[in-house]
Amino acid sequence: MSRIAYIGNFEPEFSTENDVRKAFEHLGHTVIQLQENKVSMEQVREESLNSDLLLITGTWATQPLDEFITHIHTLAIAGIPSATLHLDTFWGTSRGGRKWWLEPMFHTAYIFTADGDYNDKWELLGKNHMWLMPGVRYDAAKFGTERKEYECDVALVGSNGEGYHEDVWTYRKELAGQLREMCKRNGWTYKNPGGDEPKIDRNDDMNDFYASAKVTVGDSLCLNKEDSKYWSDRVPEATGRGGFLIMPQIKAMKYNYPKLPTYSWGNWKQLEEMIKHYLEHEDERHTIQAENQRITKEEHTYVNRVKTIMKICEVNDEDGQK
């Protein structure tokens, strides 16, 4: 099997980098963890030249940059591919406005982002960009157990919008306010872990939360709204962990999740009616939950994404074949 030199943030137990690492290891590959902003350029050289792939996250910055670019060329000559994995939306936010050409992600052979929009910008920069949809940790794609402390009719998991890209995205804050009002008006119980309430770790507690919340509502920072080719990892996280999720309409997301309930952006009356309907139709809700959980488990875990990375980067498999 292959050896992967992976630069990322592995210190938080449930970071997405650890989800990706576990996917590689589940497939039998060896992952050399190089902690971002602590690893030296010398370590990067040594480990990657003895690996089959150098993978970095888009948050990593190393200096001097010229040494890194030279090393990428050295890897290419040695036939070792390099790739960047950016785990979130990119263009149109403050991160897209940074001078990324001064950072490593702009200089690897392949750039994978969860944002499939703006290919014209990547092409203009002469970059080999690939759209890689978000996923969920493979062993987290399972149903949880109902727990009384998590029980609620309606949930919003994540930020309530306070301080969340407010320069370009006020939708989350508006959504949170609308949900509070809907719940108050209809007598529904409401929870917002990570926003109005303490955050829940992305361990089995999160699965139990989704098992206990009847309806979860989410959003994504989609500047192109329904025409976006980006959606938050909240979609595979919530559905994969067995939650019932309602999202605003995103055509590409709907193609991948045909049974996922969606409403028109900003149509709060429609959203309220949908919540009411699914709270009153438990069997239908459970049928949709089961179907979306199946789709995520089969098609949208990080094992699926890692296989795509290996194929596109033409990394040898266990038989030495590309």
pLDDT digits (tens, 9 = 90+) for 42-79: 999 999 999 999 999 866 666 678 898 999 999 999 99
Under 8 Å between Cβ of 36 and 60: yes
What per-residue string of b and e applies to 89-128 under the rule 16 or more CB within 10 Å gives b? bbebbeeeeeebeebbbbbbbbbbbbbbbbeeebeeeebe
CA-CA distances (angstroms) from residue 44 to 6, 71, 102, 208, 222?
A: 9, 9, 18, 39, 35
Under 8 Å between Cβ of 22 and 138: yes
Under 8 Å between Cβ of 87 and 16: yes
pLDDT digits (tens, 9 = 90+) for 186-220: 999 999 998 889 899 999 999 999 999 999 999 98
Under 8 Å between Cβ of 208 and 197: no
Torsions phi, psi for 110 (to 5 deg): -130, 145
Query: How far apart, in whole angstroms, are the C-alpha atoms of residue 15 and residue 55?
Result: 16
Domains in the chain (CATH in brackets) are 3-135+301-312 (3.40.50.2000), 139-299 (3.40.50.2000)
pLDDT digits (tens, 9 = 90+) for 272-319: 999 999 999 999 999 999 999 999 999 999 999 999 999 999 997 554
Which residues 6+ apart lie within 8 Å of 10 measured at CB? 17, 18, 21, 33, 35
**pTM of the predicted protein model:** 0.92
End-to-end Cα separation, the chain, in angstroms: 12
